[in-house]
């Protein structure tokens, strides 16, 4: 065993740029003739950090060189990445790590057994299992075994907690104990435990026999005890060193002490995080790491290299002052100007996230116009990053977004989730059409014909949701004349709609087979498809081993949760000088301009989230970092970004939910700038963002008043359209002349039109056949493929209303129904008038009563008097003029039979209302004047619009009740109130 040397621990100040400064120091220190840096091993914190260092080597090497071996200490295959240095054969006594997916699924089964009948279902159970795994890892990373949950100091705290926390803690302990027992029996271990044991093995091995080649740990800030012990050994190796990012060596000893003990308490029983510790400070986690390494801050040296583009060192003093703990912050009042210097730092405030993204994109566009200038956007706000990516495409700039895209929003990922939703919702319209319209389905020459069938099917599918399953959709396909296409499609989709509960592996088999039948190789051929294939294969194999079962209605949510964490990066990079980083990815990165976006509370720093399984008091007693610890990490990320030559700190004053609160970090920057704040405002890009999409103000849209020619005006007029013509001529023009119809939405709520169509169909069949009205109602509901929920909500009131109709007709022997749902036409001055009469009754005196069924409220008397509701009068004129050849005579009674709720009805539904002034009725017209008035209004309408040249003015009579179907077409909101 060799004698340990003085620890070699260094720090690179933020203003120097970690990766470039690291490489600039490694090359002269460790390069060898003919070997370059090939003998050097670099221990780095993440794969992204390794990529950043590689890029720095490329920039610094000039003509090229042999790079060092790079090992990621967060990698599960740490022994393989270190290769011969760690000698995996020597670590054979360390149990292999269990696969994370298998662990997650098995924990779900253990939780199900533990909770019994109280266990959540499907996706909720899997989410709970994921939370359990996360909490276990938080303990294992800190080398906290399950036995510590039973120690007196923890048990005493648990006993003082609320009942739900006591139950949650004991339940977690039982689940963890069962899981660890299974691991021991299988000869495996958790990945976090294995990583710790590998760290300990490497530390022991290198302490006893230092490797002949240099080992340098760079950028590692994790304070996990096992990793800290390894870093201590690396720092003492003859050719070893530990290089920390942005350890503040200029901070005074008093301020350093104010950060707290950070695990350096003299009492071994004290938790590492004391009550007074400034755990939210950006230097706290580095102090914790140094304490666990057994290194005094005075032993840390600066890692200096000259000639690097960097921010001014004075800014580092200001950044150090910026994040002072509470007591030390009092010194801000007396800070000299040189300690406040933030030259090169600008603050940008925008109105909303969209404006912020546009302004950031403009800053990036300006930066890339300068040769060799590199720019990076650093933000934890993924929606903001996606907006910026889209805005940059305005200038054909593809940004290298290190976070990639979630698998759930890629075409392949959406295809799998859409099929899962088809299974979960039993082929509900929205899910079904979304899956069949996915861009991967029938790619190539066949896609056009496929989409024609999908669109025809969708048009007939619009309206209320049909009954669940594929069977009821066959009739809709027949109506759309795509029966052959639907039979083929239904055969493909059938495996997804035939079962309710299946093993998760079987669900994945069916989803993958269905997706491939619809998309072919296109489902798997691109980068998102390859990521999806790996996800499906991994989850399927472990789910089959574990035997995970899941219900059909939970499969979509379960897969969406699992896929959300998978990122898909394009196989090619973006612009070589533009990068978008998350906070983790930004560590060690370097750029000439760094834009820190989304600096609002809840985003940067993120909103602290407590562990849902173990109470904060227990975690604190065990020595697990709490939620505030992550705030300190976010502060350190910002402090590192502030080291760039140019920095823009950006926020939006509002977000999607309302006014946003500025980040505490940004408020500190503004406070330390004081009177200089106005000089550091970034206004130019904000003004450009506000102006870039501006155009000349559009002229006010006039009130529409189309004036078609005489040949276009001469159209058949229905009795219902006649009322619409007088109330709102534009609606008549759009519907009867232009032939425009409103499409129902997919999965629409059953509205009045649907209810009226159903009621009229039932009554027509009943009047014509005399069969049992309840049987007819069931047949019509089945024919309309009504969803069971729709039937359950609408059928009871419908049957009560139909019972009232039966009783009303049977109880009045003075009238005999003659016509039912009959169409008729007449010619009036060369114009065809057509209409359908719901029911025509012959009265005792030989005259007729015209009856119109309504599922809602009939027109008011005021509408009748104003001439906006004369449908019954026009039908009466048609009866008297022979529009219905089977009957002749005079119409004397006019009635609306409403099927709506009524307190006077014996069934609770149904009442009769007449537009005539009879029996003390309010409003309406005198019986003798009703038909003449209807004729007068008919002639007036024909004279003005059909045979005349009056324009079809929009909302000519605003007080008349009407539909809002054409309001958007007439652009109502743009001119309403400015008609004059």
Ranking 177-186, 601-610, 698-707 by mean pLDDT, the lowest is 601-610
CA 402 from chain centre, in angstroms, equals 20
The residue-averaged pLDDT of 770-794 equals 77
Q: Given a cut of 80, is residue 720 above it in pLDDT?
A: yes
Angle (CA) 720-726-730 rounded to 5° is 90
3-state secondary structure (DSSP) of residue 950: coil
The residue-averaged pLDDT of 863-867 equals 80
Nearest CA among 622, 727, 703, 705 for reference residue 937: 727
CA distance 727 to 955: 7
The single-letter DSSP state of residue 600 is: B
β-pairing verdict for 831-843 and 815-828 = antiparallel
User: To 10 degrees, the CA torsion angle through 562, 565, 571, 572?
Assistant: 160
Q: Given a cut of 70, is residue 63 above it in pLDDT?
A: no
| Average predicted confidence (pLDDT) for the chain | 86
3-state secondary structure (DSSP) of residue 788: helix
Q: Given a cut of 90, is residue 249 above it in pLDDT?
A: no
User: In angstroms, what CA-CA distances link 801 with 450, 634, 781, 862, 912?
Assistant: 44, 65, 15, 26, 12
Q: Given a cut of 90, is residue 977 above it in pLDDT?
A: no
Q: Is the distance from CB of 948 to CB of 682 less than 8 angstroms?
A: no
Q: Is the distance from CB of 441 to CB of 515 less than 8 angstroms?
A: no
Q: Report residue 845: phi and psi, to 5°.
A: -85, 5
CA distance 893 to 879: 12
β-pairing verdict for 654-655 and 41-44 = unpaired
Q: Given a cut of 50, is residue 185 above it in pLDDT?
A: yes
Q: What is the pTM of this model?
A: 0.85
Nearest CA among 841, 872, 837, 857 for reference residue 909: 857
pLDDT digits (tens, 9 = 90+) for 75-88: 656 666 666 666 66
Q: Given a cut of 70, is residue 438 above it in pLDDT?
A: yes
Tokens 């789910």 — which residue? 543
pLDDT digits (tens, 9 = 90+) for 12-24: 887 777 888 899 8
CA distance 449 to 441: 12
- Tokens describing residue 856: 């809602």
- Tokens describing residue 108: 């779900």
Q: Is the distance from CB of 82 to CB of 41 less than 8 angstroms?
A: yes
Angle (CA) 195-14-243 rounded to 5° is 40
Q: pLDDT band at residue 1, thresholds of 50, 70 and 90?
A: very low
Q: Hey, CA dihedral for 328, 277, 298, 585, is it positive or negative? A: negative
Q: Report residue 406: phi and psi, to 5°.
A: -65, 140
CA 628 from chain centre, in angstroms, equals 27
pLDDT at residue 834 in the model: 93
pLDDT digits (tens, 9 = 90+) for 202-212: 899 899 889 88
Q: Is the distance from CB of 587 to CB of 640 less than 8 angstroms?
A: yes
- Which residues are bridge partners to 655 per DSSP? 658
Helix or strand run (H / E) with residue 543: helix 527-546
pLDDT digits (tens, 9 = 90+) for 814-864: 888 899 889 999 999 889 999 999 999 999 988 999 999 988 888 887 788
pLDDT at residue 268 in the model: 57
The residue-averaged pLDDT of 279-302 equals 90
Ranking 263-272, 609-618, 762-771, 810-819 by mean pLDDT, the lowest is 263-272
Q: pLDDT band at residue 165, thresholds of 50, 70 and 90?
A: confident
Three-class SS of 250-318: CCCHHHHHHCCCCCCCCCCCCCCCCCCCCCCCCCHHHHHHHHHHCCCHHHCEECCCCCCCCCCHHHHHH
Q: Is the distance from CB of 169 to CB of 176 less than 8 angstroms?
A: no
% of the chain with per-residue pLDDT over 90: 40
Of these ranges, 3-12, 62-71, 150-159, 834-843, the one predicted with the greatest mean pLDDT is 834-843
pLDDT at residue 385 in the model: 92
Q: pLDDT band at residue 424, thresholds of 50, 70 and 90?
A: very high
- Tokens describing residue 229: 């012990």
The residue-averaged pLDDT of 925-933 equals 87
pLDDT at residue 307 in the model: 41
pLDDT at residue 468 in the model: 87
Q: pLDDT band at residue 125, thresholds of 50, 70 and 90?
A: very high
Contacts for 861 with CB less than 8 Å, ≥ 6 apart:
915, 917, 921, 922, 923, 924
The residue-averaged pLDDT of 342-352 equals 91
Q: Is the distance from CB of 955 to CB of 946 less than 8 angstroms?
A: no
Q: pLDDT band at residue 338, thresholds of 50, 70 and 90?
A: low
3-state secondary structure (DSSP) of residue 100: helix
The alpha carbons of the chain give a radius of gyration, in whole angstroms, of 38
pLDDT at residue 593 in the model: 94
The residue-averaged pLDDT of 462-488 equals 90
3-state secondary structure (DSSP) of residue 87: coil
Q: Is the distance from CB of 402 to CB of 580 less than 8 angstroms?
A: yes
The single-letter DSSP state of residue 224 is: -
pLDDT at residue 653 in the model: 94
pLDDT at residue 266 in the model: 57
pLDDT at residue 591 in the model: 87
Nearest CA among 262, 280, 380 for reference residue 627: 280
Q: pLDDT band at residue 341, thresholds of 50, 70 and 90?
A: confident
% of the chain with per-residue pLDDT over 70: 93
Q: Is the distance from CB of 5 to CB of 242 less than 8 angstroms?
A: no
Q: Report residue 129: phi and psi, to 5°.
A: -65, -35
Nearest CA among 639, 574, 629 for reference residue 251: 639
User: In angstroms, what CA-CA distances link 271 with 132, 487, 620?
Assistant: 23, 67, 7
């Amino acid at each position: 065993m060799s004698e340990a040397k003085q620890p070699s621990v260094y720090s690179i100040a933020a203003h120097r740029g970690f990766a470039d400064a690291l490489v600039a120091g490694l090359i002269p220190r460790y390069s060898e003739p003919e070997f370059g840096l090939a003998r050097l091993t670099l221990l780095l914190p993440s794969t992204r950090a390794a990529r950043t260092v590689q890029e720095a080597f490329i920039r610094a090497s000039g003509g090229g060189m042999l790079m060092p071996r790079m090992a990621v200490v967060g990698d599960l295959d740490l022994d393989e990445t270190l290769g011969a240095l760690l000698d995996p054969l020597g670590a054979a006594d360390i149990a292999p790590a269990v696969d994370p997916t298998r662990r997650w699924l098995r924990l779900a089964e253990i939780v199900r057994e533990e909770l019994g009948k109280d266990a959540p279902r499907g996706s909720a159970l899997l989410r709970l299992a994921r939370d359990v795994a996360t909490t276990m890892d938080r303990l294992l990373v800190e080398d906290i075994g399950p036995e510590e949950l039973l120690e007196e100091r923890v048990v005493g705290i648990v006993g003082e907690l609320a009942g739900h926390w006591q139950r949650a803690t004991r339940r977690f302990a039982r689940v963890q104990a069962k899981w660890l027992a299974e691991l021991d029996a299988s000869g495996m271990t958790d990945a976090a435990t294995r990583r710790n044991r590998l760290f300990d093995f490497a530390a022991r091995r290198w302490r006893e026999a230092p490797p002949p080649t240099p080992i340098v740990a760079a950028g590692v800030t994790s304070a996990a005890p096992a990793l800290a012990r390894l870093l201590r050994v690396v720092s003492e190796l003859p050719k070893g060193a530990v290089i920390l990012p942005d350890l503040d060596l200029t901070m005074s000893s008093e301020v350093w002490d104010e950060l707290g003990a950070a695990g350096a308490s003299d009492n071994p029983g004290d938790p590492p995080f004391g009550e007074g510790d400034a755990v939210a400070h950006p230097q706290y986690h580095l102090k914790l790491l140094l304490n666990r390494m057994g290194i005094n801050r005075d032993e840390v040296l600066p890692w200096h290299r000259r000639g690097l583009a960097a921010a001014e060192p004075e800014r580092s003093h200001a950044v150090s002052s910026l994040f002072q703990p509470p007591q030390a912050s009092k010194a801000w009042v007396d800070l000299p100007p040189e300690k406040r210097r933030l030259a090169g730092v600008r603050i940008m405030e925008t109105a909303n996230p969209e404006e912020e993204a546009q302004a950031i994109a403009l800053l990036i566009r300006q930066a890339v116009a300068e040769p060799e200038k590199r720019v990076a956007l650093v933000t934890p706000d993924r929606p903001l990053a996606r907006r910026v990516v889209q805005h940059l495409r305005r200038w054909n700039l593809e940004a290298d977004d290190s976070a990639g895209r979630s698998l759930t929003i890629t075409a392949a990922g959406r295809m799998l989730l859409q099929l899962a939703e088809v299974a979960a919702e039993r082929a509900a319209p929205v899910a079904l059409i979304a899956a069949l319209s996915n861009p991967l389905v029938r790619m190539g020459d066949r896609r056009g014909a496929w989409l024609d069938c999908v669109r025809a099917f969708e048009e007939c599918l619009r309206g209320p949701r049909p009954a669940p399953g594929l069977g009821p959709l066959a009739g809709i396909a027949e109506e759309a004349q795509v029966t052959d296409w639907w039979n083929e499609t239904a055969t493909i989709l059938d495996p997804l709609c035939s079962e309710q509960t299946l093993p998760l592996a079987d669900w994945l088999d069916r989803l993958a087979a269905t997706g491939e039948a619809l998309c072919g190789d296109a489902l798997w051929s691109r980068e998102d498809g390859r990521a999806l294939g790996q996800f499906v294969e991994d989850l399927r194999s472990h789910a089959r081993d574990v035997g995970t079962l899941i219900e059909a209605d939970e499969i979509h949510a379960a897969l969406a949760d699992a896929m959300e964490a998978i990122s898909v990066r394009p196989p090619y990079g973006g612009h070589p000088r533009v990068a978008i980083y998350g906070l983790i990815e930004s560590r060690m990165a370097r750029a000439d301009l760094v834009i820190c976006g989304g600096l609002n509370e809840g985003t940067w720093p993120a909103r602290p989230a407590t562990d849902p399984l173990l109470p904060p008091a227990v975690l604190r007693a065990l020595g697990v970092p709490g939620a505030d610890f992550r705030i300190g990490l976010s502060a350190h990320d910002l402090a590192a970004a502030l080291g760039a030559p140019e920095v823009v700190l950006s926020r939006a004053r509002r977000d999607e939910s309302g006014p946003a609160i500025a980040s505490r970090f940004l408020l500190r920057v503004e406070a330390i700038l004081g009177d200089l704040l106005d000089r550091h405002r970034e206004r130019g890009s904000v003004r450009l963002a506000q102006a870039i999409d501006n155009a000349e103000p559009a002229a006010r849209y006039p009130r529409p008043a189309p004036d078609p020619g005489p040949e276009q005006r001469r159209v058949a007029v229905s009795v219902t359209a006649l009322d619409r013509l007088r109330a709102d001529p534009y609606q008549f023009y759009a519907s009867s002349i232009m032939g425009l119809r409103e499409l129902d939405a997919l999965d629409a709520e059953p509205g009045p039109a649907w209810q009226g169509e159903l009621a009229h169909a039932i009554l027509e069949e009943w009047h014509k056949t005399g069969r049992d009205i309840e049987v007819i109602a069931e047949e019509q509901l089945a024919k309309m493929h009504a969803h069971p929920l729709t039937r359950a909500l609408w059928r009871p009131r419908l049957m009560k209303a139909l019972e009232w109709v039966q009783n009303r007709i049977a109880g009045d022997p003075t009238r005999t129904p003659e016509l039912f749902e009959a169409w008729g036409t007449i010619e009036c001055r060369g114009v065809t008038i057509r209409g359908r009469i719901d029911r025509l009754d012959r009265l005792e005196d030989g005259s007729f009563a015209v009856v119109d069924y309504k599922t809602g409220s009939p027109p008011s008397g005021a509408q009748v008097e104003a001439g906006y509701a004369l449908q019954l009068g026009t039908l009466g004129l048609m009866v008297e003029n022979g529009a219905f050849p089977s009957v002749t005579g005079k119409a004397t009674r006019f009635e609306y039979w409403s099927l709506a709720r009524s307190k006077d009805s014996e069934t609770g539904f149904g009442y009769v209302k007449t537009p005539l002034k009879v029996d003390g009725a309010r409003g309406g017209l005198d019986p003798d004047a009703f038909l003449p008035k209807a004729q007068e209004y008919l002639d007036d309408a024909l004279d003005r619009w059909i045979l005349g040249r009056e324009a079809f003015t929009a909302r000519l009579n605003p007080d008349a009740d009407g539909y809002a179907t054409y309001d958007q077409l007439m652009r109502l909101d743009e001119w309403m109130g400015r008609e004059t």
